[in-house]
Every structure is written in structure tokens, then in C-alpha cells.
Amino acid sequence: MSNKIFGRFRVSLAISKRIWSRASDRSYCEPRLEKMDAVKTMKDLGYAFNTDGQLRKIDANGQPTDEPFQFNVSNQHQECQAHYEELGNAVTEYIYHLLETEYKFTRLPVPKDSKKATFIYASEDYDKKDVLVILIQGSGAVRPGQWARSLIINDNIDMGTQIPYIKYALSKDYGVLVLNPNDNYLPNGQKITNSSTGEEHTSYVWKTYVKKAKAESIAIVAHSYGGVLTVALADQLKKEFEKRVKAIAFTDSVHVYSNIKLTKYLKEVARNWISSQSPLDTPMTTPDFDIPRLSAGHEKHEMTSYSCMQSVFKFIDQKLSKN
């Protein structure tokens, strides 16, 4: 193995270990220990997004100032982290509000017969569209509509959310499903039926909602651990998946650690934009067993979904145009 390939392997392995450890850390994956009606709003916590989509502290009139989020609210790290998590929950509710009011998304329950467990988001008439786009985030605290919570809080709402992807898909009259694979426990600590793991959640959503949708052409965009969920779903469904999924865009996916053999089909319909200092779309060294890798144009793992967004749109459109 060359030094270049080995170096890339070590970086990917480090990312994978971090993601897997977070996925197995129940405290990290279960921020819903409080009832949702107890979550404070961003205004309650003294924050709002300005016109540029940046999170800023607000003044006495509730208007955003130039002061950004500050993690250190005290000299006690535990208090600082608690404040950050509380703000993260408030941001999640704000994004839900945007999806429901500005983009007219509705919640589809998981399991289907329960309104007290979890849910996914669906665009209007998603099941009647010719093309369906499925968005799958990575592991951890991120919820529907988010790629990276830290980017939403510290940088910009477009950088950290799936909203730019949603806007593009809607502009093309595609249906959109936004999955929720990290919401696995009820407030009382019990596992959610049909969503106790990300793999179970993804499988259930396909069988319950995707399978019955009209779309003969499906595109999937999956970040980080979302890539593991995607290849697991492809391995489970096989011909059914291959018949309908025409394009898969991974953003710094860690699917190679799923121990699932990647088929010729996956290598043809998928691309993985990986974190790299190289210019966007630069072909990267790819082992024969893996999906073709391209540079995402950014070396930061959580920035990849945003930095390669235009290339992902172009790739999906090219794949769909062939069908």
C-alpha cells in the first residue's frame, strides 16, 4: 500500500472510529430525554438567525446583533456543554419550523400507526412525483434537515442544513423524503419500534413509504454514516433497490467499514465526494473494491455536503437524464 493511500486510509479510519463511537454512545444519540414541549426556543436562549443565515445573539428588541455564538458561558465545561445542547435542540425545532412553514413538508410517523414515536419529513405529493430524492444525514445528534449542527451554530444555516438540497429538488419538481435515522429512543429510554437503529429505520421507511411512491427514478444523497445505511439498504433490497435508484451521491461516506461487498451496480450509480485539500471534483485514488472517489473541495469532514453541492446536483441530473 502506497504512503498516499495509507495516509488516506488512516484519516478515513479515524473518522469512522469517531462516528462509530458516537453511534454507540447512548448519551450522544439520545438528546430527546426531555419532552419536546419543554425545549426552549432560540429567542428564549438569546439567539436568532440574521438575514445572512448566521446565528447571532439578540438585543433587547429581539434583533440579531453582530455577536456570534459563544460556547464558554461559564468556567464550568459541563454548564457550557449543557447550554450548547439546549441551543442545539432549539435550532432543531427552528429547522423543523422552516421545513413545515416555508417548504410545506409534513411529518410521516415511524412506525406508521404511532404519533408518539418518531417521524420523517416528506414534501407535498412526494408519492406522486416521477423522481424522488432521499436525504440521509450522518450519525449523532443531527436530525431531519441537518448535515452538521456545529456548522449551523458556528457558521451558516445553509452550510449545515439540507435546505439548499431541498430547495434544488423542489425547483426540479422532485419529491423529497428527509430521513431521521438517529432518533432511536423514546423519552423514557425505550427503543422506538422499527427505528431502534439507523439501519432498521431506513429499511422501514423504504418498505412503508418509498415502496408505495410513484417514482421510478430515485436519487439518494447520504453523508458520512448515511453511506453505511445506504449500502446496507441496497444489500437488503437488491433488485428492488437497483431497479429504482438511479443515482447515489455520498459526501465523505464511511460505507467501506460496513463489511458489505460493493456491487458493480453501486460503483456505476454512486460517487463519493471525500474530504480533501484538492480542488472540487479532482479524481482521488480509489481502491478497486470501492465506489469512485472525488474531492469534495474541502478538507473538513462536516463541510463536504455543502462544498460539493453543485457537483452533486450535476451528477444526479446526468444520471436521471439517462433514464
Which one of the listed residues 224, 258, 295, 305 is annotated catalytic?
Answer: 224
Question: What confidence tens digit (pLDDT) does each residue in 206-233 have?
Answer: 999 999 999 999 999 999 999 999 999 9
CB within 8 Å of 76: residues ≥ 6 apart: none
- The DSSP line for 243-297 is HHEEEEEEES--GGGG-PPPPHHHHHHEEEEE--SSPTT-B----TTS--EEE-S
Q: What is the mean pLDDT of the chain?
A: 89
Domain 3-25+105-321 sits in CATH at 3.40.50
Contact 304, 275 (CB under 8 A): yes
Across the range 189-209, mean pLDDT stands at 97
Residues 263-293: tens digit of each pLDDT: 999 999 999 999 999 999 999 999 999 999 9
Is 224 an annotated catalytic residue?
Answer: yes
Residue range 142-152: mean pLDDT, rounded: 97
CA–CA dist 315, 53 (Å, integer): 27
Round the CA-based radius of gyration of the chain to a whole number and report it.
19
Position 309 pLDDT exceeds 90: yes
88 touches 142 (CB < 8 A): no
Strands of the sheet containing 217-223, edge to edge, are 106-110, 118-122, 175-178, 131-136, 217-223, 245-251, 270-274, 293-295
For the residues 65-90, what does the mean pLDDT come to?
A: 91
Q: Report whether pLDDT(16) > 80.
A: no
What is the DSSP secondary structure assignment for residue 191, as one 8-state letter?
B
Q: How far apart are CA 223 and CA 229, in angstroms?
A: 10
Q: Where are the domains of the chain?
A: 3-25+105-321, 31-102
pTM value > 0.95? no
Q: Which residue has the higher pLDDT, 242 or 28?
A: 242
Per the model's pLDDT, the better-predicted residue between 29 and 248 turns out to be: 248
Cα–Cα distances (Å) from 136 to 105, 162, 176, 225, 272, in that order, read 16, 9, 11, 9, 14
Range 100-105 average pLDDT: 98
CB 148 within 8 A of CB 227: no
Confidence (pLDDT) at 35: 37
pLDDT band of 10, cuts 50, 70, 90: very low
Confidence of residue 181 (pLDDT cuts 50, 70, 90): very high
Percent of the chain's residues with pLDDT above 90: 82
How do residues 117-138 score in pLDDT, each as one tens digit? 999 999 999 999 999 999 999 9
Checking if the pLDDT of 7 tops 60, the result is no
Q: How far apart are CA 159 and CA 307, in angstroms?
A: 8
